[in-house]
């Protein structure tokens, strides 16, 4: 008997295989010097910010997330802007290496391992993986101390 999570994982791969053309491009391992750099941050009660090559996105959390308990899930909140970045800039990331800088070590582990025990977080992981596979994006995450993540931090707190 397959668990609900395994069934959802299989659906992600079916979605990918439905449009896969059979061509695969292999890339060398990620290094900071030859990767596109994306910085992200989430402020629990405010919103998120993501910065890439002079472009940025910031948004407040939906009010409904408070009553749903989502605003207490820091791993979900910190992973969310990473997925948003891939949604927004997939065309710029296509066939490239992307390095996500995040000030949350749990999210760095989730992104690099592409798994989590949290069902809510796994919904985002699956979205991230399918977007990256479809667009041939190699990705990894690295930890950046909050003090060194000033642009994304300011965006997530809506500071100028």
Q: What is the model's pLDDT at position 98?
A: 95
94-119 pLDDT tens trace: 989 999 999 999 999 999 999 999 99
pLDDT beneath 70, residues of the chain: 20-33, 160
Q: The pTM is what?
A: 0.84
pLDDT at 6: 78
Count of C-beta atoms within a 10 Å radius of residue 65: 16
pLDDT (tens digit, 9 = 90+) per residue, 142-157? 999 988 988 999 999 8
Helices marked H in the chain: 4-19, 64-68, 74-93, 105-113, 119-134, 150-156
Residue 149 CB coordination number (10 Å): 21
CA dist 87 and 56 (Å) reads 13
């Amino acid at each position: 008997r397959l668990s609900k999570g395994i069934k959802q994982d299989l659906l992600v791969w079916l979605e990918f295989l439905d449009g896969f053309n059979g061509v695969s491009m292999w890339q060398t391992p990620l290094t900071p010097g030859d990767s596109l750099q994306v910085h992200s941050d989430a402020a629990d009660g405010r919103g998120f910010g993501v910065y890439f090559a002079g472009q940025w996105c910031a948004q407040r959390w939906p009010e409904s997330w408070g009553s749903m308990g989502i605003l207490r899930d820091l791993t979900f909140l910190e992973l969310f802007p990473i997925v948003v970045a891939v949604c927004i800039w997939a065309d710029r990331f296509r066939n490239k290496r992307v390095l996500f800088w995040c000030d949350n070590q749990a999210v760095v582990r989730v992104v690099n391992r592409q798994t989590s025990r949290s069902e809510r977080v796994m919904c985002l992981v699956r979205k991230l993986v399918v977007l990256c596979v479809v667009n041939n994006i190699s990705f990894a995450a690295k930890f950046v101390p909050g003090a060194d993540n000033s642009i994304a931090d300011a965006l997530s707190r809506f500071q100028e």
